[in-house]
């Protein structure tokens, strides 16, 4: 898969898809067209069973400055409905496709850009990266970024970020659970690739099953979550890849995944 759009590009390296945002002159602001291209590319990745991991990254010094404010002046309700519903669809698609999606964050990630990081399954950040939901400062509370942010960092930290609009460092983001790794900028791509490669080593069937179960149980009361998870684990245990994996472990050999 190699695709070129106006705002993004999609490249493939073996089983890994790299979605690169390419509006550095606009700090990779998420215009409606940009979001539509992200949505199209993510759906295509989700439908490609040869792809095992997706990485969302950006060109230029910024990861994403959030929504493109220049296209939001003087617009009607229909435009805003389309913009924010498309944005929500992008975030939900990230979590609904079977492949884990990793955010590779090299600079600022603000407002909807921070939402994008929070929505990804995993995130690796350069030490210089910064994260913020600064909408309150310009009279536009980051309400939709709030949905992803509160699920990633918890209510107290999210509320502080939302009410003050002040950026947090990569180290703070790591401590809060917004990102998984913080590395020197020169090591960012290698660290992201190493994380992706570790995921690729596992059964794609099992990874996809686990990702779906993870997000589904999050919304359930504990008892219901255990009942659901037990059912998933029973089905998983009987699957060919689980049987192969357990046998390989006992026999001290590498598993040969069958994808089912």
The answer to whether residue 3 scores a pLDDT higher than 80 is no
Nearest Cα residue to 11 out of 65, 63, 51, 64: 51
Q: Say if residues 153 and 176 touch (Cβ distance below 8 Å).
A: yes
Phi, psi at 100, each rounded to 5°: -60, 140
Sorted by where each begins, the domain ranges of the chain are 3-200, 204-250
Residue 16 is inside which H or E element, if any?
Answer: strand 16-21
Could you give the angle at the alpha carbon of 252 between the alpha carbons of 251 and 255, nearest 5°? Answer: 85
Residue 6 is inside which H or E element, if any?
Answer: none
Per residue in 49-74, pLDDT (tens digit) is 999 999 999 999 999 999 999 999 99
What is the pLDDT at residue 260? 87
Per residue in 93-135, pLDDT (tens digit) is 999 999 999 999 999 999 999 999 999 999 999 999 999 999 9
What is the pLDDT at residue 64? 98
What is the pLDDT at residue 97? 98
What is the pLDDT at residue 59? 97
Per residue in 199-238, pLDDT (tens digit) is 999 999 999 999 999 999 999 999 999 999 999 999 999 9
Kindly state which CATH superfamily the domain 204-250 is placed in.
Lyase 2-enoyl-coa Hydratase, Chain  A, domain 2 (1.10.12.10)
- The SS3 call for residue 206 is helix
Q: Say if residues 255 and 244 touch (Cβ distance below 8 Å).
A: yes
Average pLDDT over residues 71-80: 97
User: In 97-142, which residue ranges form alpha helices assigned H by DSSP?
Assistant: 112-119
The answer to whether residue 1 scores a pLDDT higher than 60 is no
The pTM (predicted TM-score) of the whole model is: 0.96
Per residue in 135-148, pLDDT (tens digit) is 999 999 999 999 99
Residue with tokens 């490249």: 11
> The CATH number of 3-200 is which of 3.40.50.1370, 3.40.50.300, 3.40.50.620, 3.90.226.10?
3.90.226.10
| pLDDT above 90 coverage of the chain, percent | 97
Beta-ladder partners of 30: 67
Contacts of 2 (CB under 8 A, 6+ apart): 10, 11, 12
């Amino acid at each position: 898969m190699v695709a070129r759009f106006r705002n993004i590009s999609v490249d493939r390296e073996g089983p890994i898809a790299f979605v690169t945002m390419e509006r550095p002159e606009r700090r990779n602001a998420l215009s409606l067209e940009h979001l539509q291209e992200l949505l199209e590319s993510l759906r295509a990745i989700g439908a490609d069973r040869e792809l095992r991991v997706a990485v969302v990254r950006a060109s230029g010094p910024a990861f994403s400055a959030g929504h493109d404010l220049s296209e939001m002046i003087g617009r009607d309700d229909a435009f805003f409905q389309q913009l924010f519903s498309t944005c929500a669809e992008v975030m939900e698609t990230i979590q609904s496709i079977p492949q884990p999606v990793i955010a590779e964050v090299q600079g600022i990630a603000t407002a909807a850009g921070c939402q994008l990081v929070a929505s990804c399954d995993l995130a690796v950040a350069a030490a210089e990266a910064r994260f913020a939901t600064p909408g309150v400062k310009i009279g536009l509370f980051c309400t939709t970024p709030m949905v992803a942010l509160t699920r990633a960092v918890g209510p107290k930290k999210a509320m502080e970020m939302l009410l003050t609009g002040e950026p947090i460092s990569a180290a703070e983001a790591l401590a809060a659970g917004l990102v998984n790794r913080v590395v020197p900028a020169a090591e960012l791509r290698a660290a992201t690739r190493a994380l992706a490669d570790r995921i690729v080593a596992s059964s794609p069937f099992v990874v996809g099953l686990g990702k779906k179960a993870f997000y589904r149980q999050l919304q359930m009361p504990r008892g219901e979550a255990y009942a659901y998870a037990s059912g998933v684990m029973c089905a998983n245990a009987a699957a060919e890849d689980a049987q192969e994996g357990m046998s390989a472990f006992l026999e001290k050999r590498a598993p040969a995944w069958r994808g089912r």
